Structure 1
Amino acid sequence: MKITSTLIALGLAVAFQSPAQAQSPAELNDLEIAHVAYVADNIDIRYAHLALAISQNSEVREFANTMIRDHEAVNTQALALLAKLDAQPQDNFLSQTLEVNAEALIDEMSQLRGPAFDRRYAENELAYHKAVNDLVENAFVPNIENAEVKALFEAGLVIFKAHEGHAEMMVGKLK
């Protein structure tokens, strides 16, 4: 888990300090923030599908199904809100960095099997939810201008903090 946390933090720090992309997460506009959240949800859905394809552990599989259900539901709500607002999410340095980091992690995890995969998936889910929840709570929510978008993020944060707690329990059981 320490490796995943370090990789996420390093990847985010590098993205934030890139000279070509001088923005920080707190400087993203609502449409850029929406895109980061959509990408982050889709990444977690991909991790969950990988878990369903590899893991035989019923608890890991149940968690993965929960991730798919909840993250797809939030994305559906986000897309509906964007349609209502007649807005399009905007790609940005942070969503791009998340995608690149996810590809490497999926490649790594896809090579694992059995308890090694289960532990790695659970540790990644814990680190990923901690990092994204922190970003949403401390950089995004305080800076979102549209009240409806802010409300969606606040509701999503409640769900994703529960995911973090579930992942933490799963990590404890898989050690």
Structure 2
Amino acid sequence: MPRKLLLTSVALLTAVAAGCASADEKAMNDLEIAHTAYTAGNLDIRYAHLALAVSENQMVRDFAATMIRDHTAVNDEAVALITKLNVTPQDNDLSQALVKGASEKRAELIALKGHAFDCAYATNELGYHQVVNQTVEGSFIPQATVPELKSLLSDALVTFKVHEGHAESMVTSLNCG
């Protein structure tokens, strides 16, 4: 992976982690947590669609298809819960930071082809899942007060930790280091 792309990935992850730290200082409410989790899932789905459009590597394509399937399933469960509870998720600074960072990352990824794209996508997925998993486990689950939301996040975290492991294996298999 080119050094500039790696530094950009690190900078994005640092910005997201900083947003998570500020969220820790001012606890997010359930509606903000729901919005942020749903947003993170949608962003990963968008990354996966890009990977399917650009990559010719079967391992990358299979991983992307898994991201679409699993994140869509979790987001569908979230929509069902929101509907059941008759509430509206609340946009917030962290959701907005995720969207901004993802827009910048997509622009970088779109400019790449072949192995460079595959490594950039795999490395981004690894970092993205590390940060999201840490945030869900360390902030969202402890801060959630609605039992059904806490349960949804806990169940999703199990799946997302598997994704993190697959992303790490993909980075290694692609020799992205």
CA separation in 2, counterparts of 1:11 and 1:139?
Answer: 13
> Does 1:7 pair with 2:12?
yes
RMSD: 1.7
> Does 1:132 pair with 2:137?
no
Distance 1:157 1:26, change over 3 A: farther
> Which residue in the other structure is 1:46 paired with?
46
Which digits, 9 at most, give the CA deviation of each residue in 1:133-156, with x for residues without a partner? 000000110111011110000000
1:80-159 equivalent positions in 2, closer than 5 A: 80-159=80-159
- Counterpart of 1:10 in structure 2: which amino acid? A
Which digits, 9 at most, give the CA deviation of each residue in 1:3-26, with x for residues without a partner? 32332113442x468xxxx75476
CA separation in 2, counterparts of 1:25 and 1:111?
Answer: 37
Which digits, 9 at most, give the CA deviation of each residue in 1:48-83, with x for residues without a partner? 000000000000000000000000000000000010
Distance 1:23 1:11, change over 3 A: closer
Normalised to the residue count of structure 1, the TM-score between the two structures is 0.92
> Does 1:63 pair with 2:63?
yes
Distance 1:57 1:25, change over 3 A: farther
> Does 1:31 pair with 2:36?
no
Identity %: 52
- Counterpart of 1:67 in structure 2: which amino acid? M
Q: Which aligned runs of 4 or more in structure 1 are off by greater than 3 angstroms?
A: 22-26
> Does 1:162 pair with 2:167?
no
Shift of 1:33: 0.2
Provide structure 1 residue ranges, at least 5 long, that are not aligned to the other structure: none
Is the 8 Å Cα contact of residues 26 and 140 (structure 1) preserved in structure 2? no
Provide structure 2 residue ranges, at least 5 long, that are not aligned to the other structure: none
Normalised to the residue count of structure 2, the TM-score between the two structures is 0.91
Helix, strand or coil at the partner of 2:91: coil
Helix, strand or coil at the partner of 2:63: helix
